[in-house]
């Protein structure tokens, strides 16, 4: 079930007035409105409902009845033709409510964007997108989980959505692309800005094989306050949001809250109860988010059939094949490392990937083959004795 909804003002209208942005004059006015930077989406949404159209809203700002002095200066100087030239130079395009690339679920937000800018592949109403988000400073296990989930989504024909940021976001985008799939990055900056710079190569690959989306026109720099607003677009473009890792108060949590606004499910990857990076997903699970252990759980809960190869041991990378072969009985990770000769980080990575593929089951720190029929906690003495310790090693 969806996470409990945040308080909503029932008196505020949703969506936009009938005919908003339709017709040449409305389309021109809407494009200029979307380029204003001194008015918040919520304030702009309220203004549009008060005035009834994009043309009237733009006139109210130009006449001093709304907006800031900077907004009025922009309205005086800007022209729709000039904005379109900037978009063309950035190889970008604009989608307004009602256009094919403006996802209808965005209209269910309390403060829907009046339009979005895009680069790369065109968005289609046939696309099913799943958001995978999390900490900018993830753990090694979090990185592996994000990549594996994204690969599994791509294998199932889903498009992975995330925020183009460092950490979990970047790994999710990479996982989808590595699996030959597509991905959508929603930016907290202008549509032409390659931010963060360390993700420049990744963002360029997304333009070539996926789609960049932003509320902000070319030239707008990334600033901290733009990222929470970006998170609502991530949720609005998706059929579900997966939280991999995140601290209690983070943008990751806000994405889950926006998911509730648009009526989609939130999924949490559980973690250690004492781990700071587990705070957000564990709290969301406690509040009603769906707990997932891997891609099979996610696809099942979304009602999507897993590809036949998802649980097949064929074609495994060498480290995963070695780990799977070593699991003659339930074993701790350090026992697997000793049996395979792999390093502990490589062993943990292999086990996480095997678990996400449905080939391995883990419980109480031990792992076993999912298809051997033995209980996870069988023969704990032999499993512990293989390592000289009954404790799970830190990794």
Under a CB-based contact definition with an 8 Å cutoff, are residues 322 and 382 in contact?
no
Return the SS3 of 186: strand
Whether the Cβ atoms of residue 270 and residue 291 lie closer than 8 Å to each other:
yes
Residue linked to tokens 């333009």? 207
> DSSP string spanning 28-54?
HHHHHHHT--SS-HHHHHHHHHHH-SH
Taking 60 as the threshold, does the pLDDT of residue 107 lie above it? Answer: yes
H-helix or E-strand spanning residue 117: strand 116-120
369/154: higher pLDDT: 154
Mean pLDDT of 218-239: 95
Percentage of the chain beyond pLDDT 90 is: 71
Which two three-digit tokens encode residue 128?
């099913």
Nearest-angstrom CA–CA distance, 138 and 175: 15
pLDDT (tens digit per residue) in 42-80: 999 999 999 999 999 999 999 999 999 999 999 999 999
Cα–Cα–Cα angle for 352, 358, 364, nearest 5°? 55
- pLDDT tens track for 133-142: 999 999 999 9
Q: Report d(CA 29, CA 12) in Å as an integer.
A: 23
Residue among 244, 377, 394 at smallest CA distance from 333: 394
Torsion of CA 33, 34, 38, 40, to 10 degrees: 110
Residue 164 tokens read as 């183009």
pLDDT of residue 251: 80
Closest CA to 153 of 118, 177, 134: 177
What pLDDT is recorded for position 289?
Answer: 96
Whether the model pTM is above 0.75? yes
**Cα 230 to Cα 40: distance, rounded to the nearest angstrom:** 12
Give the pair of three-digit tokens for residue 145: 């989980």
Where is pLDDT greater, at 10 or 174? 174
- Quick: pLDDT tens for 174-224: 999 988 899 999 999 999 999 999 999 999 999 999 999 999 999 999 999
State yes or no: cis peptide before 244, omega within 30 of 0: no
Where are any strands of DSSP class E within 81-200? Answer: 93-95, 116-120, 129-133, 159-162, 183-186
User: CA 243, CA 289: separation in Å to the nearest integer?
Assistant: 10
- How confident is the model over 211-238, as a mean pLDDT? 95
17 confidence band (pLDDT: 50, 70, 90): very high
SS (H, E, C) 252-304: HHHHHHHHHHHCCEEEECCCCCCCHHHHHHHHHHHCCCEECCCHHHHHHHHCC
What's the pLDDT tens digit per position in 320-344?
889 998 998 889 999 999 999 999 9
Q: Dihedral sign, CA of 225, 226, 229, 232? A: negative
What is the distance of C-alpha 210 from the center of its chain? 14
Q: List CB contacts of 54: < 8 A, sequence separation 6 or more.
A: 20, 21, 26, 27, 29, 30, 33, 48, 114
13-27 average pLDDT score: 94
Question: Apex CA 206: angle with CA 200 and CA 211, to 5°?
Answer: 125
The closest of 244, 229, 260 to 105, measured between CA atoms, is 260
Specify the pLDDT at position 384: 34
For residue range 363-391, list pLDDT tens digits in order: 777 888 865 443 333 333 333 333 333 33
Whether 347 contacts 355, CB under 8 Å: no
pLDDT band at 283 (very low <50, low <70, confident <90, very high): very high
Domain residue spans of the chain: 24-90, 129-310, 312-385
Cβ proximity of 106 and 81 under 8 Å: no
Task: Find the helix or strand (DSSP H, E) in which 321 lies.
Answer: helix 318-326
Specify the pLDDT at position 329.
Answer: 86
Q: CB-hemisphere CA count at 13 Å for 208? A: 8
- The pLDDT, as a whole number, for residue 308 is 59
When comparing pLDDT for 88 and 390, which is higher? Answer: 88
* Topology annotation, domain 312-385: Arc Repressor Mutant, subunit A (1.10.10)
Q: Which CATH architecture has domain 129-310?
A: 3-Layer(aba) Sandwich (3.40)
Closest CA to 263 of 124, 129, 109: 109
Per-residue pLDDT band at 10 (split at 50, 70, 90): low
């Amino acid at each position: 079930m969806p996470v409990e909804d945040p308080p909503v003002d029932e008196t505020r209208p949703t969506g936009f007035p009938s005919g908003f942005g339709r017709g040449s004059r409305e389309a021109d006015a809407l494009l200029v409105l979307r380029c204003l930077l001194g008015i918040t989406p919520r304030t702009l949404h309220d203004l549009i409902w008060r005035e009834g159209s994009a043309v009237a809203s733009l006139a109210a700002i130009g006449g001093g009845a709304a907006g800031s002095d900077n907004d009025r200066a922009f309205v005086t100087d800007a022209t729709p033709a000039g904005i379109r030239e900037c978009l063309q130079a950035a190889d970008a395009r604009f989608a307004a409510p009602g256009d094919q690339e403006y996802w209808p679920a965005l209209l269910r937000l309390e403060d829907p964007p009046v339009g979005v800018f895009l680069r790369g592949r065109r968005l289609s109403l046939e696309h099913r997108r799943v958001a995978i988000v999390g900490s900018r400073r993830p753990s090694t296990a979090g990185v592996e989980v994000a990549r594996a989930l994204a690969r599994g989504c791509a294998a199932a024909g889903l498009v992975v959505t995330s925020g183009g940021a460092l950490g979990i976001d970047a790994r999710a985008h990479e996982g989808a692309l590595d699996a030959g799939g597509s991905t959508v990055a929603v930016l907290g900056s202008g549509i032409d800005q390659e931010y963060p710079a360390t993700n420049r190569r990744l963002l360029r690959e997304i333009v070539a094989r996926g789609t960049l989306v932003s509320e902000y026109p070319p030239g707008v720099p990334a600033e901290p306050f733009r990222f929470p607003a970006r998170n609502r677009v991530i949720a609005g473009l998706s059929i579900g949001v997966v939280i991999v890792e995140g601290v209690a108060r983070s943008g990751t949590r806000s994405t889950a809250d926006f998911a509730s606004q648009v009526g989609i499910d939130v999924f949490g990857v559980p973690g250690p109860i004492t781990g700071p990076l587990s705070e957000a997903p564990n709290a969301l699970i406690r509040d009603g988010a769906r707990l997932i252990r891997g891609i099979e759980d996610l696809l099942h809960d979304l009602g999507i059939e897993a590809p036949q190869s998802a649980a097949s041991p064929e074609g495994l990378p060498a480290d995963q094949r070695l780990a799977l072969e070593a699991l003659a009985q339930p074993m701790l990770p350090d026992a697997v490392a000793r049996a395979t000769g792999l390093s502990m980080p490589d062993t943990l990575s292999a086990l996480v990937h095997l678990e996400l593929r449905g080939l391995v089951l883990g419980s109480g720190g031990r792992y076993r083959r999912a298809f051997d029929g033995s209980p996870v906690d069988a023969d704990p003495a032999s499993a512990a004795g293989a390592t000289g310790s009954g404790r799970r090693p830190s990794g």
